[in-house]
Amino acid sequence: MIERIYEARHRLLPYIRHTPCVRHTPYRTPLAPNLSLKLENLQLSGSFKIRGAFNNLLQASPEQRERGVLVASGGNHGLAIAHAAHRLGLPATVILPQTAAPDRIARIRSWNATVILHGDNPSDTLLYAQNEAQERGCLYVHPFASEATLAGQGTVGLELLEDVPEIDCAVIAIGGGGLIAGTAVALRSKNPDIRIIGVEPAGAASMYQSLIAGGLTELRESRTIADTLSPRAVSELSLEVARDHIDEIVLVSDEQIVDAMEILWSEWNQLVEPAGAASIAAITSGLIDLSPYRAPVALICGGNAPVGPVFTAFRDKAAHNTDFPPIHHKLHR
């Protein structure tokens, strides 16, 4: 797997951002003193998902490139695929459940992907997408169950080893488990003692339940505001890697997640989606104590929150100030 991650890194280099890892610490919040934040909300498409997306699309066959890619997604995976497909000139179709947030639909459409709303639960949508992809002969990219996806997400780990060479603990949110699996493999390839702490929403604890049960377990219900962390089951592959590499799992409540979103805003001016604040929630809630670590890192996995009303408010105000014309004036030379 680690070879696949190095290959992915080489493959992705011209296409993605090496995201900032901000090390300085605020003085007053209940965070670890040396904590760094890896800001994957600043990644293209607003989340780490673009890594796996590019890694899949860049390996597509010429026929697949022509027929295009088709995925099911309630969120960041669909957006990442739409973005990467636009960049590479592939047609993209994203199937979303009928309940998908209008904000996400608009973002996906803005990258020229075709959006189809189908089904009212993730399993129906997924099944429909897999069938459609087969019928149309499109490339189908699963959000977390394939090795190419895991290897793509694992490139975050390689960046972290450069950003914080002395890293000794990583706090990472778990949705389908692709991010934590890939990142853990990359980090541990350098130093097997790096502590890996996974964080799930308490209402969507798919990895926790599978690890406890000793096998892939599907939740009967998944209910959390962190919608991009809410698949009802992880994958065999991510579970297998998790078994070897995850040392601790923390389940955070939705309220703790919103608290952490506010802290990320008030201390770092980063507005992120609930999933993006989950790793911070594990710390600020007091559930885990990072003081034993010399260089812990929390991964901010995504930022795609619906903030339209903020702009609407400013646009209303701006409408009162239209009597000043724009000007460009050269003073020197």
- What residues between 144 and 203 interact with a copy of itself by CB under 8 A? 201-203
Q: Which of residues 9-28 bind a copy of itself (CB under 8 A)?
A: 16-18, 20, 22, 24, 26-28
Task: Kindly tell me which of 114 and 130 has the beta carbon lying closer to a copy of itself.
Answer: 114
Site map (CB under 8 A) of a copy of itself, residues 66-105, x = contact: --------------------xx------------------
3-state class (DSSP) for residue 58: coil
* Segment holding 139, helix H or strand E: strand 139-140
Closest CB 128 distance from a copy of itself, rounded Å: 26
Q: How far apart are CA 87 and CA 239, in angstroms?
A: 32
Single out the residue of 34, 36, 41, 125 in contact with a copy of itself (rule: CB under 8 A): 41
Task: Name residues whose C-beta falls within 8 Å of residue 230's C-beta, 6 or more positions apart in sequence.
Answer: 74, 122, 175, 201, 203, 204, 222, 223, 224
Binding of a copy of itself by 115 (CB under 8 A): no
Q: How far apart are CA 149 and CA 230, in angstroms?
A: 18
Binding of a copy of itself by 220 (CB under 8 A): no
CB 45 within 8 A of CB 80: yes
Task: Kindly tell me which of 146 and 163 has the beta carbon lying closer to a copy of itself.
Answer: 163
CB 283 within 8 A of CB 35: yes
Closest CA to 122 of 103, 107, 144: 144
Site map (CB under 8 A) of a copy of itself, residues 234-263, x = contact: ------------xxxxxxxxxxxxx--xx-
Task: Name residues whose C-beta falls within 8 Å of residue 238's C-beta, 6 or more positions apart in sequence.
Answer: 144, 145, 150, 176, 177, 178, 180, 181, 207
One-character DSSP codes across 240-268: HHHHHH--EEEEE-HHHHHHHHHHHHHHH
Site map (CB under 8 A) of a copy of itself, residues 284-303, x = contact: -x-xx--------------x
Single out the residue of 53, 81, 185, 211 in contact with a copy of itself (rule: CB under 8 A): 211
Closest CB 90 distance from a copy of itself, rounded Å: 14
Q: Which span sits near a copy of itself by CB under 8 A: 117-125, 137-145, 168-176, 317-325?
A: 317-325
